[in-house]
Amino acid sequence: MRDVIVAANWKMHTTPADAAELARTIAARTREAGVIRVICPPFVCLAAVREAVADDDPPVAVGAQTVHHELAGAHTGETSAPMLAGLASWVILGHSERRRDAYETDELIGRKLARAVDAGLRPILCVGEQLDEREAGRATGVVDEQLAGALEGHDPGALAAAGLVIAYEPVWAIGTGRNARGPDAAAMADAIRASLERRGWASRAADVPVLYGGSVTSANIDEFLAEPAIDGALVGGASLKPDEMAGIVSRAGLTARARGTA
């Protein structure tokens, strides 16, 4: 059975002074057997958050929001995957805000993926279409191309062993309060696994966790987790609110129990 995962993407919010407290509060309110909890704060808060949740049970994983595609070198302001040793065990890659703000391409995201896996980080690869692409009936094709670009040259066995997670995040749903419909997200999760299957993943594709992301809240999480194809959520805005996280993870706990993973 696939992992049930709730990942918090704090984006460019919190400071080292307040991140620890927020992480502790969220951790204390989201203890659900069988749900993998991941908190992804800004780089400068990784150490504080890691320390704050170090003894939580079940464990809370800490993730970065990106890594550089090189191991080291003259790249002012950047952070490489090996630098995260002892700070993070997960990493978000290819988030649409980085595609937009840092001009990340699928090819570049593929290189980041290699660095992440080599460093032992569990990757959450984000894909998702723009509104005009969905309206033109091209959503599945766009996501297929993103997967093709990022996964080109990667060994499916190695990525499967690294626990690759795909987050389907339609760009028009991120931070807009306008979430996708559960059945549409589930159809995309199926399309994602079919895409992996065509790219040499064969039966391993069925084991890849697919999360939904885009204006997830405690009020709409049920719509997504009611879909067997969806294994959890990548949560942005609501992940900074302990009440919201409590509701979201509690609903994920139901899924974990139904799947027998709790």
DSSP assignment string, 179-227: PPPHHHHHHHHHHHHHHHIIIIIGGGGGGS-EEEESS--TTTHHHHHTS
User: What's at 238, amino acid-wise?
Assistant: A
Q: Is 95 a catalytic residue?
A: yes
Give the one residue of 157, 175, 200, 228 binding ligand PGA; rule: CB under 6 A. Answer: 175
Residues in CB range of 174: below 8 A, 6 or more apart: 96, 97, 128, 213, 214, 215, 236
- In whole angstroms, the minimum distance from the beta carbon of 175 to ligand PGA comes to 4
Which range in 71-79, 129-137, 191-199, 232-240 contacts ligand PGA by CB under 6 A?
232-240
Site string for ligand PGA, 127-166 (x = CB under 6 A): ----------------------------------------
Q: Give CA–CA dist 70/80, Å, rounded.
A: 7
Tokens 């696994």 belong to 193
- In whole angstroms, the minimum distance from the beta carbon of 106 to ligand PGA comes to 18
Determine, following the binding rule CB under 6 A, whether residue 182 of this chain makes contact with ligand PGA: no
Number of Cβ within a 10 Å radius of residue 242: 16
Determine, following the binding rule CB under 6 A, whether residue 63 of this chain makes contact with ligand PGA: no
Q: List residues near ligand PGA by CB under 6 A.
A: 9, 169, 174-175, 213-216, 234-238
Active site residues: 95, 169
